[in-house]
Amino acid sequence: MSMRAWLAALLMAYACLADPAMAEQTLSTHAAIIDLRTAEAVPDGWDSQTPPADGWTNVTLRDSWDSRWPHHDGVVWYRLHWQQTDANAPVGLLLDYACLADEVWVNGSLVHRDSSLVEPLSRSSTAPQRILLDRRTLHAGDNTLLVRVSGLAAYQPGLGTVSVGTPEVIEAIYQQKMFVRVNIQLINFAMEAVLGLLFLMFWLLRRNESIFGWYALSSLFGCVNAWNFVPSNPLPFASTDAWESMIVACYTALTVTFCVFLLRFCEQRWRRTETVLLLAAASALLMALLAPHVLGPWRNLWELPTAALSYVAVLIFLWHAVRTPRADLRVMAACLLIPLVVSLIDLLVYLQIIPGTNSELQALTSPLTLIGMSFTVAWRFSAAMRRAENFNVELQQEVDVATSRLSDTLSREHMLALANTRIGERLNLVRDLHDGFGGSLLGAISALEDPRCQQEPAQVVAVLKELRDDLRLVIDTTTHEQDTNLGSQIAPLRHRWSQRLEAADIDSRWSVEGVEHLNLGAARALELLRFLQEALTNVLKHSRASLVQIRIHCEDDKLSVDVHDNGQGFLPNASGTQGAGLPSLRARVTRLGAALCVTSPPGSGTHLSFIAPLDPTI
């Protein structure tokens, strides 16, 4: 099929939806059908049960009696005739439009009656009426159709065209009309409800996105407006005026909220205009509740300005979308353009400027609004994702730069701290060399240089050995500065002093536990080794012991040291024991962060002990 043929088919389909009469003519070309477009009409009161005998007026269907009999609220009888050649075959009867309620008689037989022919009137105008006639009702030749229509002058009362034909053809026309006038409205109602609730949840989760809230309100009010074309009675309202006034109020609120939505969509805020519009919508809702008998009959005073407002708002939106290079604005504008044209057709039908039935074809264009809003949400979500991704990239770059800078800073601080620690430990070693080894060396030089003092060779050798041992301690702690094993620093001292004590017939017993992974640092390790050296020197020189026990244990972040011999002992506070040895031992233990305990009863040996914490800050 060519493109021109497709366009012609689409135009024909739309024309059939827009004008049911054209649809009937299309079907008539394929099947026998009679369209009754002329009738006789006569007005009567609410309690009329039979048509009047005179006063009949010729009318053309579709007829609205408000122009012929203004302000007539009540009943109008319509009388139609058609010729039936075969009275034995079933016949289908289709009433396109009856406003507001009706009953139908064929050849004096009642074939249809609405549930309520007085207030609150049934709403027969919402859907076509299909009636099947059999041979008990039909006559060969002339057949008379009487339609009693109950209506109110304010709501376009009257009767539409009547079609007579085979049941199959009538059924096809009926299904088409039901789809356009009822089913589409149900679909529109469901879509408006879903959209309203969906965007209401969007707004509740993102209060700063006000367009979602306003669109949710317009959709929820649109649900009520769509429902206007579905029910066959005005319940839960007590009268037609109450029903129509509520529909008018909801239509006003729908238009106002949609206008505010369009403003928010354009990122505009016209505060005074919005305030006036919202007050108008609130006034309409209040009038629908408090004065439905006023708002209902005078609905055109609200609906026509409201319709004009919606056209102006959409046109302004279209103009703004053309001037603004935003994809979401232009897509929404394109989705509003077709509904704008279709709603204008509906308005002209409603005002009876062009023929047709009030089928509200605008409901057919609701999916376009759904497409526009779906694109808007997707576009905004995509934009938000792009911003989040860009932010994440920038944040990652900033984090990488900050991490690199922090790593460099920490590395420099670590190197500085390590260098300062080494310098401090070396300074301590230098001081210890000066105070310890240097002092011993200076004393030995002075003694050897004194001509008055004749030193024996053995004494000179002893002094040199002490200097050698002192120097070895310094060398050991310096060369093992990086070792984490305190045992490797104690081992050389243990070896030398075990040999020296053995040569003096003193048995030494060592117990070293828990120091395999202990690192005291060069300065503290030297203090510990000097303490052991001085303690063992005192045992060797003064104790006259045959056994000395050295215990070095590390447990629970504490270092305990014990040196116990079985010598002659001494009184710590006696006048003969106030040399430099014991104060030196106390000073070294103090620098280790502990207190020296001395136990030396005469004749029971000497016991030196302390418990030092392993906290390197001490």
Question: SS3 sequence, 214-253?
Answer: HHHHHHHHHHHHHHCCCCCCCCCCCCHHHHHHHHHHHHHH
430: pLDDT strictly greater than 70: no
Do 97 and 162 form a contact (C-beta atoms < 8 A)?
no
Q: Of the ranges 268-277, 342-351, 549-558, which one carries the lowest mean pLDDT score?
A: 342-351
Instruction: Please give the pLDDT value at position 616.
Output: 53
**Residue at 405: amino acid letter:** R
How far apart CA 196 and CA 220 sit, in angstroms, is 5
Task: List residues bridging with 547 in a β-sheet.
Answer: 507
DSSP string, 545-605: -SEEEEEEEEETTEEEEEEEE-S----TTSGGG-SSHHHHHHHHHHHTT---EEE--TTS-
* Residue that wins the pLDDT comparison between 364 and 44: 44
How far apart CA 383 and CA 377 sit, in angstroms, is 10
Q: What are phi and psi of 57, to 5 degrees?
A: -130, 135
Q: What is the mean pLDDT of the chain?
A: 81
DSSP-derived letter for residue 363 is G
Instruction: Please give the pLDDT value at position 531.
Output: 87
Helix (H) / strand (E) containing 478: helix 457-479
Non-local CB neighbours of 61 within 8 Å, separated by 6+ positions: 36, 37, 38, 39, 159, 160, 161, 162
8: pLDDT strictly greater than 50: no
Instruction: Please give the pLDDT value at position 91.
Output: 93
Question: pLDDT digit string (tens) for 277-313?
Answer: 999 999 999 999 999 999 989 988 888 899 899 889 8
Question: pLDDT digit string (tens) for 78-114?
Answer: 999 999 888 888 999 999 989 989 999 999 999 999 9
How far apart CA 151 and CA 471 sit, in angstroms, is 126
CATH 3.30.70.100, applies to 33-165? no
Task: List residues bridging with 554 in a β-sheet.
Answer: 559
Domain 484-613: which topology?
Heat Shock Protein 90 (3.30.565)
Helix residue ranges per DSSP H, 84-209: 167-178, 184-205
600: pLDDT strictly greater than 70: yes
Do 77 and 101 form a contact (C-beta atoms < 8 A)?
no
Q: How many angstroms separate the Cα of 383 from the Cα of each of 211, 289, 380? A: 16, 44, 5
The pair of structure tokens assigned to 322 is: 């053309």
Question: pLDDT digit string (tens) for 571-591?
Answer: 766 555 555 578 888 888 898
How far apart CA 616 and CA 618 sit, in angstroms, is 5
How far apart CA 32 and CA 16 sit, in angstroms, is 19
How far apart CA 152 and CA 351 sit, in angstroms, is 16
Task: List residues bridging with 565 in a β-sheet.
Answer: 548
Report the pLDDT averaged over residues 528-546.
85
